[in-house]
Amino acid sequence: MRPLFAILTFGAVASSGVLLTMSAPTEDWQTATSIYNFSATDIDGNVVSLEKYRGNVVIITNVASK
């Protein structure tokens, strides 16, 4: 049952269309005690606190392109 849940969760996240990019200053990662201390920018340019996703499975992908 767990692998099925993981696959369904991944599918839901992948198809949701929400792309997050980390938007914390460099110094913050050194003092942060939790991922929920950070915020990200969604695909529409809105800043979203990762606290909003507490209790949910979250996949954070860092994509660098030029």
**Is residue 8 one of the residues assigned to a domain?**
yes
**Is residue 61 one of the residues assigned to a domain?**
no
Predicted confidence at residue 20, as pLDDT, reads: 44
Helix (H, G, I), strand (E, B) or coil at 20: coil
Report if pTM > 0.75: no
**Is residue 45 one of the residues assigned to a domain?**
yes
Tell me, rounded to whole angstroms, the distance of Cα 10 from its chain centroid: 13
**Is residue 47 one of the residues assigned to a domain?**
yes
Total domains present in the chain? 1
**Is residue 44 one of the residues assigned to a domain?**
yes
CA-to-CA distance for 65 and 49, rounded, in angstroms? Answer: 24
Task: Quote the domain boundaries for residue 38.
Answer: 2-53
Residue 17 or residue 63, greater confidence: 63
17, two tokens: 């269309």
Predicted confidence at residue 52, as pLDDT, reads: 92
**Is residue 36 one of the residues assigned to a domain?**
yes
Residue 35 or residue 17, greater confidence: 35
**Is residue 64 one of the residues assigned to a domain?**
no
**Is residue 28 one of the residues assigned to a domain?**
yes
Contact predicate 23/41, CB 8 Å: yes
Predicted confidence at residue 12, as pLDDT, reads: 52
